[in-house]
Amino acid sequence: MLADTAYPVLEIDFDLVIQPATCDCKLLNWIYPGAQSIITTVKKEVPDTLTINHAVVDETSKDTTPAIRACYRTDLGAAPGCDEATAITQVIEEGDVLPTYFSMSGDVLTIDATDNSQVRVYTMEVTHSTEFEDAPIVFNTVTVDLRVCVITRIDPPTAPVSTE
Q: How would residue 1 be classed by pLDDT, with cut points 50, 70 and 90?
A: low
142 occurs within a structural domain: yes
Q: What DSSP assignment string belongs to 128-142?
A: EE-SS-SS-EEEEEE
Residue 15 in this model has a pLDDT that exceeds 80: yes
Q: How many domains does the chain have?
A: 1
**Nearest Cα to 47, choosing from 118, 126, 94, 109?**
109
pLDDT for res 155:
87
95 occurs within a structural domain: yes
**E strand map for the chain:** 30-31, 36-41, 48-51, 56-57, 87-93, 102-105, 108-111, 120-129, 137-147
Length of the chain: 164
Q: Which domain holds residue 45?
A: 33-56+80-147
44 occurs within a structural domain: yes
pLDDT for res 39:
95
- In whole angstroms, give the CA distance from residue 57 to residue 35: 17
- In whole angstroms, give the CA distance from residue 128 to residue 54: 8
Contact 31, 56 (CB under 8 A): yes
Contact 145, 38 (CB under 8 A): yes
Q: How would residue 76 be classed by pLDDT, with cut points 50, 70 and 90?
A: low
103 occurs within a structural domain: yes
Q: How would residue 71 be classed by pLDDT, with cut points 50, 70 and 90?
A: confident
160 occurs within a structural domain: no
63 occurs within a structural domain: no
115 occurs within a structural domain: yes
CATH number of the domain encompassing residue 100: 2.60.40.60
155 occurs within a structural domain: no
pLDDT digits over 86-139, tens only? 999 999 998 899 999 999 999 999 999 999 999 999 999 999 998 877 778 899
pTM of the predicted model over 0.85: no
pLDDT digits over 22-63, tens only? 888 889 999 999 999 999 999 988 999 999 999 999 999 988
Contact 133, 89 (CB under 8 A): no
